[in-house]
Structure 1
Amino acid sequence: MARRTPARTAVPAAPAVVWQAGLPAHGARTWVILVGAAGLPDAAKDAGERLGVDLERLLEALTGTGFSPGAGRVAAYPLLAGEITQVVLAGAGDGSPRDLRHAGAAIARFGRGHDELTTVVAEGIDDAGLQAFAEGVVLGSFTFHRKTVDPGKPVAGRIVLTDGTDTDRDEVVERGLVIGRTGCLARELATTPSNEKDPAWLAARATELAKANGLDVRVWDEKQLAADGFGGILAVGQGSVRPPRLIRLDYTPPGATKNTPYVVLVGKGITYDTGGLSLKPRESMVSMKRDMTGGGSVIATMAALRDLGAKVRVTGLVCAAENMPSGTAYRPDDIVRHYGGRTTEVKNTDAEGRMVLADGLAYAVEELKPDVLVDIATLTGAIKMALGSMLYGGLFATDDALADNLVEAGFVSGEQLWRMPLPVEYADYISTPVADAVNSSKGPGSITAALFLKNFSGGLPWAHLDLSSIAESPRDEFEYTLGATGAGARLLTTWLTSPNPTAGI
């Protein structure tokens, strides 16, 4: 019987978010007033007159019942007369982009089931803060389910933003919305269950997005992978009845020349990871539908480059496979030959991410010859031991300027990075007398994994992002939703669409 092809999953729903110059003449039935540490915004007086409410007294009263302007705090007050039915005070924290992103997400969650909200922000909010607020609105709207009963309230239909002035801020808001949607798309890809999502599904989804966003696309199937020598991807995927794929997406900016900087991204696309013959415990296997977060973030980033006017050439490579145990699975003690000829002795089939990434990196070096090479993966549990959860992702880099540019993009996007060392003294941990390296060893696991991958970077300016530490949120909090975070999509998009992402490299 032919296997049914899973239906396409739609991009997650989000409210229509628009900027309004001046207070709207006819606002929504619910108005939200953003309150910062300095108090109410200047436009609150005019808004209060429109609402028929003394907002200063309301703030004082609600503060007395426990409300504070901390980012993400929300308090609603019903109005008993007039067309406007309630006013909501929402905390903006210290007014930083980080706190405003959290505030936007909180307002989006509050807005579920509403047709429209009018939101008054502080006059003089800078571009970074307004962009982050718009990102938060989209990210806080994210939901994913396959329920047929009680699916929950829908996202707000429309959210109007205004600071009460005549300033036009549409472009800033739109950038925030695109970056927010990039994060949501990466979450959607990571959250899709693996009975729907296999390497072929991921390739089909990437192809759809490429066609919709002006990208060139090529997909290698298992026969083409074998013919071209992608031994790492084939080894990891050979235990599954659902064969591997290599996905290539290409973006070229208008007016590009031979001097236009060229960046290649390589993403881990393990659509399910049992550990293979080195089988994971049940508890460790539960969230492994999201082990393609790196590859999903590459796809989501590539889909945003045209809309945001990226000025660099970018190729995204997604190395997709399903790591399963079977009679055809690769084994501990196998020796695998990667693209380009380098060999790896397998000691742990659950160290599969570096096996597929190695092929992608080697292909990029030999065939594409970029100026900058970056790989991204949920690669090791060791990075969680080093950095904890939901604060920093791990960054390894051979170029200081590249590291600095990525750290800055992480700070701006809210997906923060902490640079880790690449000490040559640890290279002995991955040495073996029978191959060029082993894929797993004793010692500091995230560092030895990075050293393994460094051997495939060809001496190019290279960075490795190990984001296992920020890939899974334990609860609905700030801009995150319980489950996969889509880590890396906002970071990469922010970096590649900055004015000069390769500055100093």
Structure 2
Amino acid sequence: MTWQPGLPVHGAPAWVVVLDAEGGLPAAAKEAGERLGVDLGRLLEAQLATGFSPAAGATVAYPLLTGEASEVVLVGAGDGSAKDLRHAGAAIARFGRGKDELTTVVAEGIDDAALRAFAEGVILGSFSYTLKTVDPGEPAVGQVAVTDGTDGTDGARQQVLDRGVVIGRTGWLARQLAITPSNAKDPAWLAARATEVAAATGLEVTVWDEKKLAADGFGGILAVGRGSTRPPRFVRLDYVPAGATKNTPYVVLVGKGITYDTGGLSLKPREGMVSMKRDMTGGGSVIATMSALRELGANVRVTGLVCAAENMPSGTAYRPDDVIRHFGGRTTEVKNTDAEGRLVLADGLAYAVQELKPDVLVDIATLTGAIKVSLGAMLYGGLFATDDALADNLADAGRVSGEELWRMPLPAEYEDLISTPIADSVNSSKGPGSITAALFLKAFAGDIPWAHLDLSSIAESPADRFEYSIGATGAGARLLTTWLTSETPTAGI
């Protein structure tokens, strides 16, 4: 995606005109219309009269018989906000499928946040994944040139577009990891993808196999993975910015990497298993986030931990009433083998606290169905936090990225719901499921400022809508990347 100073001398066969915040034409539309041989003002009036709405992402295409292009499309930008421009960008990507290039005219003076979001939308709307051998669909648009019609080179505008492309790419990668079917994707596969990302982006990587996990006492990851013939893995990715010192803030991310979840011996119904290939969305989002930190110049140290296992029923599977000893020694009595995500995350959190001692600790997971009951689907992810500044910083990043969060409580009064005389806690209980899951994890975070992101509510899109494609959304990657590459991600914590 390139920023074009002025209208291009030789435009693409298809042109896109993005309406302004008032639903009108951008300043460069008159000149563009002359080039295309059409009065864009009259075209817009005619379309509005027949029911076209300038809502964000609304499109109307018009074939051209003269001029240098064969087609022009008008795209609504809603109120011109970053959110609405992201939707407009995704609509353009869908229009552009199968086309080699597009010339896109936007409103003069579009601010950086909106332009960056627009670029994210183009990337995200271009996403597709198919293993079809017949009618696989049209490929993504090859090239998009963006201009507001003003002359002069503007390297700063290109940098804004480039940043949006990179952030969009993290969402693309997280989706690709999540949507890969589980006959191809197992814990070793996920570790291999993380290793490839590390090699390509200058990260350090360490992978624990099942023998090293046993030697080091990762009882939660081992227990969950014990029922599968495909053993678990624990992955550590490390990013250190140039010029880092002992005073550089240090953040650790911990992602749930359940590559398939049958529920184990607490077997899910068939309907409940559908889409469980994406139960490693948290781990995939951690990998995708880590991939962008060096390119975007993040100024904090970051370690990404991925706790990967496949939860299967078998003669070797862990059972209800088993007692697990996690990394560091804390014990859990199992009451539901389908509450497995918190068991693997517990090992990752305990490892971070004991071995890494970060300034900030964040875990991310598609953890509970209960968060969907609380927040519904596709609007908000759940946010739990022990530090108000951390919660605010993450919520701000959610608003900027379009992956919005809603803060949930951590009431101590509910801790009795996960108590047991047999172990330090149980892994499942009656009551507010997302809250008790967060309280379970809180005990493993120690005194470090900690946040838990339960993103089951935004992990799956039922249709192609705005920047989302049907299926796994890769929830969390854009949120975490936006947060960690902001100027002061740990401010106030």
- Using the size of structure 1 for normalisation, the TM-score is 0.96
- Give the equivalent residue in structure 1 for 2:284: 296
Matched, 1:311 2:311: no
Counterpart of 1:149 in structure 2 is 134
Q: Cα distance, 1:156 vs. partner?
A: 0.8
| 1:31 aligned partner, one-letter code | W
Code of the aligned partner of 1:404: D
- Equivalent residue number for residue 76 of structure 1: 61
Equivalence map 1:78-97=2 (5 Å)? 78-97=63-82
2-side partners of 1:331 and 1:353: how far apart?
15
Deviations 1:323-377 (A, max 9, x none): 0000000000000000000000000000000000000000000000000000000
Take 1:424 and 1:380, find their aligned partners in 2: how far apart are those partners? 19
* Equivalent in the alignment of 1:31: 15
Indicate which of 4, 19, 28 corresponds to 1:43.
Answer: 28
Unaligned runs of 5+ in 2: none
1:228 equivalent to 2:216? Answer yes
Matched, 1:194 2:182: yes
Alignment-derived partner of residue 20 in structure 1: 4
Deviation string, structure 1 residues 453-490 (Cα, Å, up to 9, x no partner): 00000110000000000000010000000000000000
Q: Does 1:237 align with 2:211?
A: no
Q: Say whether 1:266 aligns with 2:290.
A: no
Query: SS in structure 1 opposite 2:307?
Result: strand
SS in 1 for 2:33: helix
Please state whether the residue corresponding to 1:491 is helix, strand or coil.
helix
Q: How does 1:55-70 map to 2 (within 5 A)?
A: 55-70=40-55
Can you list the C-alpha shifts for 1:70-100, whole angstroms capped at 9, x where unaligned?
1111111111123311111011111000000
- Candidates 144, 169, 181, aligned match of 1:159: 144
Q: Distance in 2 between matches of 1:464 and 1:34?
A: 38
Structure 2 distance, partners of 1:411, 1:343, is: 37
Distance 2:118 2:337 in 1: 43
Q: Write the mapping of 1:483-498 to structure 2, written as runs, cut at 5 A.
A: 483-498=471-486
Q: Where does residue 86 of structure 2 map in the other structure?
A: 101
The superposition leaves residues 203-246 of structure 1 with CA deviations (integer Å, 9 ceiling, x where unpaired) of 00000010000000000000000000000000000000000000
Pairwise CA distance, 1:65: 1.9
Return the letter of the residue paired with 1:50.
R
2:263 touches 2:338 (CA, 8 Å); kept in 1?
A: yes
Partner deviation per Cα, 1:187-215 (whole Å, 9 max, x = no partner): 00000000000000000000001000000
- Whole-Å Cα distance in 2 between the matches of residues 232 and 485 of structure 1? 27
1:402-430 Cα shifts (integer Å, max 9, x gaps): 00000000000000000000000000000
- Give secondary structure in 2 for the equivalent of 1:389: coil
Identity %: 80
Residue 365 (structure 1) aligned with residue 353 (structure 2): yes
State how far apart, in whole Å, the 1-side matches of 2:202 and 2:127 are: 25
* Shift, 1:21, TM fit: 1.1
Secondary structure of 1:60's aligned partner: helix
Q: Which of the residues 147, 159, 168 maps onto 1:180?
A: 168
1:326 match: 314
Q: 2 CA distance for matches of 1:370 and 1:79?
A: 59
Hey, what's the Cα distance between the residues in 2 that align with 1:372 and 1:433?
32
Contact 2:383 2:454 in 1 (8 A): yes
Q: Does 1:213 align with 2:213?
A: no
CA offset digits 1:39-85 (Å, max 9, x no partner): 11111111112112111101001112221111111111111123311
Q: Quick one: distance in 1 between partners of 2:299 and 2:485?
A: 7
Mean Cα deviation higher: 95-104 or 162-171: 162-171
Residue in 1 that maps onto 2:396? 408
Structure 1 residue ranges, 4+ long, deviating more than 2 angstroms after superposition: none
Q: CA deviation at 1:36?
A: 2.9
CA distance in 2, matches of 1:41, 1:496: 34
**Deviation, structure 1 residue 178:** 0.2
SS in structure 1 opposite 2:80? coil
Q: Secondary structure at the match of 2:296?
A: coil
Check conservation: 2:105, 2:147, Cα contact below 8 A: yes
Q: CA RMSD in A?
A: 0.6
Aligned counterpart for 2:387 among listed residues 390, 399, 415: 399
After TM superposition, give the deviation of residue 167 of structure 1 in Å.
Answer: 5.2
In the TM superposition, what are the counterparts of 1:122-133 in structure 2 within 5 Å?
122-133=107-118
> Structure 1 stretches of 5 or more lacking a match?
1-16
Q: For 2:341 and 2:431, locate their aligned partners in 1 and report how far apart those are by CA, in whole Å.
A: 18
CA distance in 2, matches of 1:106, 1:262: 38
Query: Match of 2:268, SS?
Result: coil
Q: Which residue identity does 1:18 align to in structure 2? A: T
